[in-house]
Amino acid sequence: MRVSTSMLQQSAIGQMQKQQAALAKTQLQLATGQRLQSAADDPSGSASAVRLDQASAQYGRYQQQIDTARNRLGLEENVLADSVELLQRVREIAVELNNGTQSTQTRGILANELKSLREQLLSYANADDGQGRYLFGGSQDGTAPFAGSGTVSYAGDQQQRLLQVTGSRTVADSDPGSEVFQRLRDGNGTFTVSSGANTGTAGLKSARLTDASLWDGGSYTLSFTGGNYEVRDAGNTVVTSGAYTDGQTIAFRGLDLSFTGTPAEGDRFTVGASGQKDMFAQIDELVRIAGMPQDTAAQRAQVQTAMHQSLSAIDNASLHLSDVRAAVGNRLAALDDAEAQNGAQQVQTETALDKIRGLDYAEAATRLSQQLTALQAAQQTFAKVQGMSLFDYLR
């Protein structure tokens, strides 16, 4: 092999460049705190780090979903709390209206307050999340879900938007308004009692379901004739009958009905399964009752029966809202649990990443010192070689 002066110089330059590259890599590692600067440094470790990076990014996306759901559910819970409080005021007004000392004027004032509360409840049902998305619209949350000055209609759907908050858990960030403010049962939630154009003073005092297994959801008529009562079903078959005394409880098909006052000849009450009536219609019913005449004892008895059913419906609506609110609270608790779970897994992921990419500063500092020494030696060697020729080696 032929050895030349230029070859010796090139060899020295190559050694210096190699040392400079190694030194630069170590300096970059110390500056970034990362051992791996490219996949070539550790192909297997780099592949594992990529997977861990993806997992870490996914936990970040889960946290965004949690924050979104927590914000919307928190707003929903506030609306539900306000709605329960509103219905409590509605009930207070209903009790006041049921007081026989109210005048036509005071009943009108209370009816106007009920109308105002109804509009306020409608605004609650159309609450948004501050970003133009309505809380109770289901998946159709781009427009206000409820509308109507008379009968209120629902423009949303029945869907719940499910947000992925962990690898195996989803949480609904809202409830469809139809399930919150509509599809409620009137009466006591199982059956209703209504009076016709009765002329007696008998009014409904209580209506209870005592045995659900006996109630068939049918339609029944309770009539009073000659001091006796008679209950007939929709086929006009007598179900039960007997002598009636004031305050007596009449039982049939698992129901107990109690009245106060004295029924007139031919007075009747209709009993049937509870139907659906939204909260807005329930308040409208109270407004209607407030406008009923109460000049005679018979009229007051009719108001008493109607008011008893409306009070039961309002109580059921309040319980329903409380149940929905409890379900929202459970979902908020689930979000807290998901956040804690993701946080723990994120810490584990970051720890695993640090083991793969993390730099041992003591080792790197020692290596840097060695590389500086080696580079200095190579530079000194090059300086000497550069000032010599092949003839110097031959002498």
DSSP string, 212-270: TTT-----EEEEEETTEEEEEETT--EEEEEE--TT-EEEETTEEEEEES-PPTT-EEE
Please report, for residues 86, 131, 207, 257, 270, the alpha-carbon distance to residue 244 in angstroms, rounded to integers and kept in the order given. 40, 62, 17, 12, 17
To the nearest 10°, report the CA torsion of 359, 18, 48, 360: -10
Q: Among 139-143, 156-160, 281-285, 372-376, which stretch is predicted with the lowest mean pLDDT?
A: 372-376
Mean pLDDT of 248-276: 95
For residues 24 and 182, the model is more confident at 182
Helix axes 43-97, 297-357, angle to 10 degrees: 170
pLDDT at 24: 59
Among 148, 170, 150, 151, which Cα is nearest to 160's? 170
Is the per-residue pLDDT at 46 higher than 90?
A: no
Q: Which tokens go with 390? A: 């092949």
| Mean pLDDT, range 155-168, rounded to an integer | 92
Q: What is the reported pTM?
A: 0.79
Q: Is residue 133 very low, low, confident or very high in pLDDT (cuts 50, 70, 90)? A: very high
- Going by the DSSP 8-state scheme, the letter that residue 101 receives in this structure is T
pLDDT band at 196 (very low <50, low <70, confident <90, very high): confident
Is the pLDDT at 237 greater than 60, yes or no?
yes
Q: What is the mean pLDDT of the chain?
A: 85
> The tokens of 231 are what?
């209950």
More confidently predicted of 216 and 101: 216
Q: Of residues 9 and 319, which shows the higher confidence score?
A: 319
